[in-house]
Structure 1
Amino acid sequence: MKLADSVDPARDGSGNHATPRSEKPALWLWSQYIFDSVAWIVAILLALVLRYELLINQINMTGVVVFCAVALAAQLAVGLSFALYRGRYSFGSFHEAKLLVIVTVIVSVILLLVSVVFFSIIEIPRSIGIIAFPFACMFMASTRYLKRMFVESKAKPGEDAQRTLIYGAGFLGGSLVGRMIQDRESPYFPVGLIDDDPAKKHLRLATVPVLGRLEDLPSIIARTRASVLVIAFADVEAAQVRKVSDLVAGMNIKVLVLPPLRDMLATGGSGAGFSDFREVAVEDLIGRRPVDIHADEVAGYITGKKVLVTGAGGSIGSELCRQLAQFSPAELIMLDRDETGLQTTQLSMTGRGLLTGRDTVLADIRDADTLLGIFEERRPEVVFHAAALKHVSLLEQYPEEAWKTNVLGTHNVLVAAKAAGVKHFVNISTDKAANPTSVLGHSKRVAEKLTAWQASQTANSYVSVRFGNVIGSRGSMLPLFTEQIRVGGPITVTDPEVTRFFMTIPEACQLVIQAGAIGRPGEVLILDMGEAVKILDVAQRMIAMSGKDIEVVFTGLRPGEKMHEELVGFGEDGARPLHPKISHTSVSTLDPVNLNLVDWKRKGGIEGV
């Protein structure tokens, strides 16, 4: 049902049936037939008066009664055959109006034929059916319009509904206005529209006027006393969201956006519902839009194969498991040393967190013997290595822990994978491995080199993937800012000029899956992450969204941190031979026999071990 042009009077404003469904034809459809019958009678009488130029005494009243009876019978028969009185079309919609014209034309033709064939009996002029047609059509449409206005007037939101402005007077904006006005349970009451198109300056949608352009937003908010602004654009650009956010800063108005159109269509709805609205998220403001890399087109190496994921209880590992499950692997093995993380992942995938099946494995990648035994028993064919330690500052204090997990742990997984005959191996790295300056960066750089060395020994698809900061992952900057704002601040930023790259968790996992298919042995794959984002800008926008007065404190760069992260290191080419959004580069190999903890600790984690 099109929200902007139809309403069902058998439903109340909340969308529930006001009367049982079985009573709907009797209460609405058949009553409408009575109105249509009256419309035909009035139209025929009016046509006769006009035809005889007000000389009523010349009209054959007996013939008029018969002629009206024929009109009513024809309207019923034709209306039923076209489902006009069977509830097929939404009441008062454009579809019903089109059908009404068709039915009226057919009935008029029948009346014309009757007046021609039986003129000597009923003495009704042949033109009466034609003259009556526009009047009957107009009267029937009028009754529907009046009934629709009555229903809509009863379905308006209550006094508790929030006064709402809608930015965008297109199809989606019109649909939202129609839904808000027609639903008495709506939490929003539209008080105005905003649109930058000059042609819509005087437009009204369901009596709601366009009040101005986006730059007029502050004055419009003050004039209408609106407390909610809905951005009625699917897939709205981040720059537009930032502009809106800046304009309403400090005005105590909640900004809502809609999910991408493909998500709304995937739910099977005919338009945006109130449950689709969500508040502006940080990813809307920082300009990170997911890159669709069509992982489903290259995931044939997963379907029907045994797949193992290390670090399956983490942010990246858990989402990776959820995406991999969609490609129907023969077996999905989720490995982690965090039992709670494993349970959370299993619960999100199966709805149960019993931890009794063979899909969850509790093990530590530092334990080489246990890991080797698991691989030899389960014989995975595809491995995604997501287990790692990742906090820069903490690993600067405890570099030996980075050595044990990120270096030796990765080596243990690689050795076990080779022993089990794994054909596809994807090591998850980080942008900090490009020209590394921190213990984390150096440890992940060594993991890339170990992966490249193992690829040279097996000639199989052993590759690495570099990420920037992942929005929403555990321990990342954005959740930290959210918590600092929640407790009243201050927000801590290392330096006013520091920048970082961002990507979403689903996007990161798509890259991992794609890498396993298109990566050549030993390569490192890097997603095009757009422009780096200034951290101070993110902090300031999050503060503005919260409506709180939060202080920003600059702490200075911590040991090992860069002012600006890099994706491609010195001497790396970053060519894109297969996908316009994915760069390929290579790293030198490192034979595990050259790994040396003493040198690692002596050099502070420098990769030349």
Structure 2
Amino acid sequence: MLYRKRSLILMGIDSLIVFFSVGTSYLFRYEGNIPTESVLQMLVYALVTAAISNTTMVYFKMYQRLWRYASIGELVSLLRAVILGWVISYGLTSIFMDENVPLPVAVRTMETMLLIMGGIRFIWRMIVDSKNTATNKSRVLIIGAGDCGAIIAKEIKSNANAELYVVGFIDDDKKKLLQRILGIPVLGDRYAIEAIVRRHKINEIIIAIPSAGKTELTEIISICRVSGAKVKIIPALNDLIAGKVSVSAMRDIDLEDLLGRDPILPDLKGIADYVENKVVLVTGAGGSIGSELCRQITTFRPKTLMLLGHGENSIYTIEMELRRRFPDLKLETIIADIQDRSRIDDVFREHKPQVVFHAAAHKHVPLMERNPAEAVKNNVFGTKNVADAANRYEVERFVLISSDKAVNPSSIMGATKRIAEMYIQMLDQISHTKYVAVRFGNVLGSRGSVIPRFKEQIAAGGPVTVTHPEMVRYFMTIPEAVQLVIQAGAFAAGGEIFVLDMGQPVKIVELAEDIIRLSGFEPYTEIPIEFTGIRAGEKLYEELLLNEEAIAKTKHNRIFIGKPVGINQVELELQFKRLERAINGEKDDIRNVIEYIVPLFKDVS
């Protein structure tokens, strides 16, 4: 009913416009003195033109259009409707009336109709647009004056209820500088962002360059975050192609956007060759890395995917996810503790895995400093149990998830990971199984990592705690880390330690500042940062290679190999016996044995 009432009102207005247009055209034609014999002609012509024009306007759906969203398309449709109506009405009056309507009158009628009908509609749009300049709206700067930026600007402008007001565009194309898009000026290039934000009191910045690479995107974000404005981003070029770009598609900047490195592209064929149609076992399958391993391995169509973990809740969660997403995948879920040698042996004997990804480990540095026996039992002897079973049951490939903390370790956790590396390198010398380790830095967003902790502290109003102002770490995304792990299995010749080119290390205090800003606060003023001092076992910086590990390239430009280091089997087995006895004694006994096995271990606790 509301639509019908609105349409009738608009038709009435358009009819009045037709009568006005015809009347003024006759007045102009006869200089204000219309002959008596032409008055009847004028009235008939006006009635016919009004009726036909309303019909053509309905045909072109002009009364179904919301002119607050008007664009060139609406103007073209209006032009067609008016011209078609004019042609038909002039033709009908010429056929059925004794005397033709003067052509100058008909032409002026059409011109006046177009001018008034179009003008009224666009004046209405201007009134709506003017309402969008309300001072209580958030002032927005759009980076990218291309198709994507124009789509976002148009949506914001056309929505009277939007809480955003577009002040201008930023674009590096000098030809666009000072030009206007949808009436909005292009104010400058990326290097002028900070000054423009300050001058125009910008509250939010929208990055609308879906085709930008990681390096370019990181540079733009770095400039934006200094400005103090809140930053959002349009996700991907695929969204633009699929027509999904809208204000609702925007997301906040993630820390992943600040890595300044394009994502790793795996060698899919090489991976498929060793995973496809194989029985694959993932230990620690419920953890951050283990669960992502499971997700990515499924895409290579393993014969069976075995999910092994100690915590039933986490294994249940990843199992339900995989069964929902991959209903045809054959899954085996196994609750087992890798420290239980006989249970692990039973698993290998029953299921005969062909590829093993060993992700189960204790990884929290301060916790392991306080509980060194547990670190040894899980990271050393748990790894030994799984690796020995892989040897006994002739697994094709065994990939150990290691850490950059294993290099010149200063913590119990790092030292136990280095011992695990040494053990699989020793096994590789005597086994048909190809044993390799993958070493990488901190993973963004993994459970218990620094970023979730920072976010919790910010949500609580601060302070954000950082151990030391000079603390630096390498960072990577969980998908990147997992792609490296899977890729390493394809490159495995046996005994290697694979490392990733992770770009430049990141200062933890700068990371904290970024997270605070991306959360919409100002560091040190709105959210304080406190330095708590280096914790037991921590280093100011991490390394990726031991001095004796000569680095070599792989065919993947982001993955490198630390050459295998010779391990004395008899000596290592002897030290393992000492370590096994030590875990039942004092903490100092454990540390003494670890220092002997890993001479580069620097106990800073």
Normalising to structure 2: TM-score of the pair?
Answer: 0.75
* Residue in 1 that maps onto 2:247: 272
Q: Which residue is equivalent to 2:587?
A: none
Asked if residue 257 in structure 1 is aligned to residue 232 in structure 2, the reply is yes
The reply to whether residue 515 of structure 1 matches residue 488 of structure 2 is yes
SS of alignment partner, residue 511 of structure 1: helix
Assess if the C-alpha contact under 8 Å between 1:385 and 1:426 holds in 2.
Answer: yes
Any conservation in 1 of the 2:365–2:412 contact (CA below 8 Å)? yes
Contact 2:53–2:82, Cα closer than 8 Å, also in 1:
yes
Q: Aligned to 1:125, which of 84, 102, 120? A: 102
Q: Conserved in 2, the CA contact under 8 Å of 1:175 and 1:271? A: yes
Distance in 1 (CA, whole Å) between partners of 2:353 and 2:44 is 85
Q: Which residue number in structure 2 is paired with residue 237 of structure 1?
A: 217
CA distance in 2, matches of 1:547, 1:289: 31
- Superposed displacement of residue 516, structure 1: 3.7
Superposed counterparts of 1:51-70, under 5 Å: 51-52=29-30, 54=32, 56-57=34-35, 60-68=38-46
Give the one of 285, 288, 292 matched to 1:312: 285
Distance verdict in 2 for CA 1:324–1:58, change over 3 Å:
farther
**Aligned pairs (5 A) from 1:75-474:** 75=53, 78-79=56-57, 82-84=60-62, 92-110=70-88, 118=95, 121-126=98-103, 128-149=105-126, 163-166=138-141, 168=143, 170=145, 179-180=155-156, 183=159, 186=162, 188-190=163-165, 192-193=167-168, 195=170, 213-216=192-195, 219-220=198-199, 228-234=203-209, 237-248=217-228, 255-258=230-233, 260-262=235-237, 269-273=244-248, 276-278=250-252, 281-283=254-256, 287-289=259-261, 291-293=263-265, 300=272, 302=275, 305-325=278-298, 329=302, 331-346=304-319, 359-396=332-369, 398-418=371-391, 422-436=395-409, 438-452=411-425, 462-474=435-447
Instruction: Summarize the Cα distance change of 1:442–1:562 in structure 2 as closer, same or farther, 3 Å threshold.
Output: same
8 A contact 1:29–1:87 mirrored in 2: no
Letter in 2 for 1:491: T
Cα 1:79/1:297, change in 2 over 3 Å: farther
Structure 2 residue corresponding to 1:537, chosen from 493, 507, 510 = 510
Q: Is the 8 A contact 2:144 2:208 kept in 1?
A: no
Residue equivalent to 2:465: 491
Structure 2 counterpart SS, 1:377:
helix
Name the SS of the counterpart of 1:588 in structure 2. coil
- State the SS of the aligned residue for 2:290: helix
Cα RMSD after superposing both structures: 4.6
Unaligned segments of structure 2, at least 5 residues: 517-521, 580-591, 601-605
Q: Does structure 1 retain, via aligned residues, the 8 Å contact 2:133–2:165? A: no
SS in 2 for 1:427: strand
Q: Does 1:26 align with 2:20?
A: no
Q: In the alignment, is the contact (CA less than 8 A) between 2:69 and 2:158 conserved in 1?
A: no
CA deviation after TM superposition for structure 1 residue 373, in Å: 1.7
Change (3 A) 1:487 1:80: closer
CA contact (8 A) 1:90 1:96 kept: no
Question: Which secondary structure does the structure 2 equivalent of 1:579 belong to?
Answer: coil
**Which residue does 2:576 correspond to in 1?**
597
Once the two structures are superposed, what CA deviation does each residue of 1:360-389 show, in whole Å capped at 9, x if it has no partner? 321111222212222333344443221112
In structure 1, the residue matched to 2:499 is 526
User: What SS is found at the alignment partner of 1:372?
Assistant: helix
Compute the displacement of 1:106 (Å): 3.9
1:332 deviates by 3.7
Instruction: Say which is worse superposed, 312-321 or 68-77, in terms of deviation.
Output: 68-77
1:566, distance to aligned residue in structure 2 (A): 2.4
Q: 1:507 to 1:24 in 2, by over 3 A?
A: farther
The AA in structure 1 aligned to 2:555 is: L
Report how many residues are paired.
565
Mapped partners of 2:416, 2:262: distance in 1 = 28
> Relative to 1, partners in 2 of residues 1:194 and 1:74: Cα closer, same or farther, differing over 3 Å?
closer
**C-alpha deviation, 1:39, in angstroms:** 4.0
Which residue number corresponds to residue 533 of structure 2? 555
Deviation at 1:178, TM superposition (A): 5.1
Is the Cα–Cα contact under 8 Å of residues 418 and 458 in structure 1 kept in the other structure? yes
CA distance in 2, matches of 1:272, 1:518: 44
CA distance in 2, matches of 1:51, 1:119: 22
CA gap 1:237/1:545 in 2 versus in 1, 3 angstroms: farther
In structure 2, what is the Cα distance between the partners aligned to 1:363 and 1:334? Answer: 10
Alignment match of 1:588 (pick from 556, 565, 575): 565
Distance 1:297 1:382 in 2: 16
- 1:256 to partner: Cα distance: 3.7
Take 1:327 and 1:397, find their aligned partners in 2: how far apart are those partners? 41
Q: Is the 8 A contact 1:157 1:182 kept in 2?
A: no
Aligned position for 1:606 = 597
Residues 433-492 of structure 1, C-alpha deviations (whole Å, 9 max, x = no match): 345554434433343454456666676665432211112222323344455664744724
TM-score, normalised to structure 1, is 0.75
SS at match of 2:555: strand
The one of 546, 550, 555 equivalent to 1:578 is 555
Shift of residue 335, structure 1, vs aligned partner: 1.6
Whether contact under 8 Å (1:192, 1:209) holds in the other structure is no
> What whole-Å deviation, never above 9, does each CA across 1:284-318 have from its counterpart, x for those lacking one?
5x545561425767664556654432112222223
% same residue: 30
Amino acid in structure 2 at the alignment position of 1:291: P
Q: Match of 2:347, SS? A: helix
Q: Tell me if structure 2 keeps the 8 A contact 1:448–1:587.
A: no
Q: 1:201 to 1:478 in 2, by over 3 A?
A: same
CA distance 1:386–1:88, shift in 2 (3 Å): farther
Residue 207 and residue 492 in structure 1: after superposition, are their counterparts in 2 closer, same or farther (change >3 A)?
Answer: closer
Q: Any conservation in 2 of the 1:112–1:130 contact (CA below 8 Å)?
A: no
Query: What is the alpha-carbon distance in structure 2 between the residues aligned to residue 599 and residue 313 of structure 1?
Result: 32
- Partner Cα distance (1:296, 1:232) in 2: 32
Q: What is the alpha-carbon distance in structure 1 between the residues aligned to residue 473 and residue 441 of structure 2? A: 7
Distance 1:163 1:240 in 2: 21
Distance in 1 between the 2:120 and 2:204 partners?
36
Q: Whole-Å Cα distance in 1 between the matches of residues 525 and 242 of structure 2?
A: 32
